[in-house]
Every structure is written in structure tokens, then in C-alpha cells.
Amino acid sequence: MLPERERHALREIEAELQASDPAFAAALSGRTLREKWRANLLLVLCDVTAVVMLIVGLFARNAGLVLWGTVAAGALVAWHIARAESARKSTADSSTVD
């Protein structure tokens, strides 16, 4: 365990790094990769669920499943577009040199 003085110095260095280069600090934290993986998994599971709803609804001739599968697919398209825009903006922000 580090003494309080050294922990305080490390917190100051971390805060300075986050203020000067947040993308680099996020990459070093390691949490970003787990969160990104979890969000990607959730998105893929939602995609599969929407497709299954559509297919089952079409074969069972169930208008409710087709309707909700279509609504879910539309929402997922919007989610994919929003994630792509967010990734594009974060890439553009991290590549900008001050």
C-alpha cells in the first residue's frame, strides 16, 4: 500500500492526464474496452432478437410479432447510426492536435 502522499501525487497526475488527453487516459484505464465489448454484445443480441421476431412472426402469420420486430429493427438501425456517429466524432476528436 502506498503512503497517502504518493497516492495524492498519483491522483494529481491522473487528473492532469485526463485533462490534457482524455482519449489516451480512457485507453489506459481499461474500462473502455470492457464497456465497448458489453455494448457490442448487447447490440448483437438485440439484432438477433429483432430478426427472430420478424421471421417467427412471418412464418406464424402473427401480425404482432411482425410489427414489434419491425419497430425493434428500426430502433436498432437508429442505434447503429448513433454509435457510428459517436465513434466517428471520438476518432476525429482524438486525432486533432492542439
Q: What is the pLDDT of residues 51-98, one digit of tens each?
A: 999 999 999 999 999 999 999 999 999 998 988 888 787 666 655 544
Distances (CA, A) of 72 to 37, 50, 79: 21, 6, 10
Mean pLDDT of 14-43: 77
44: amino acid identity, one letter: V
Q: What is the pLDDT of residue 70?
A: 94
Its pTM stands at 0.57
Helix axes 63-95 and 22-29, enclosed angle (nearest 10):
120
Q: What is the pLDDT of residues 4-23, one digit of tens each?
A: 888 888 888 888 887 887 77
Sign of CA dihedral 79, 80, 85, 91: positive
